Amino acid sequence: MTKRNYLRIKRIVKEELGRLNEEGLSGELEDVEKVAKDVPETDASEYANALEQDIDFMKALKIQERRLVRKLKRIQEARNKLRSRILKGIEKE
């Protein structure tokens, strides 16, 4: 690493430390019990409902995907039949 790069990195780190100090973030670890008092508790059931809805939506999307895949296969088969019919018609001429 060149001295120029070293000085540039050092300047960037000092700027970031200054920014963290301005925001009141010291970078030191706080006591877990003190932090836990400030954090509001939420029931797991609140998240379970959202998770359940997401799972149900995923299942519905999977069903819709299966239907679309079947429909796409039918379209591809019809296209292939038409292509072969067209090619046979061209060969006869």
How much is the pLDDT for 18?
Answer: 81
The pTM of the full predicted model, rounded to 2 decimals, is 0.44
User: Is residue 41 pLDDT above 80, yes or no?
Assistant: no
37, 43 contact by CB (below 8 A):
no
18 HSE (CA, 13 A, CB side) = 6
Per-residue pLDDT, averaged over 8-29, amounts to 79
pLDDT tens string 61-89 = 999 999 999 999 999 999 999 999 999 98
User: Is residue 30 pLDDT above 70, yes or no?
Assistant: no
How much is the pLDDT for 28?
Answer: 67
Percentage of residues in the chain having pLDDT higher than 70: 89
d(CA 85, CA 79) in angstroms, rounded, equals 10
- CA angle 80–85–87, rounded 5-degree value: 95
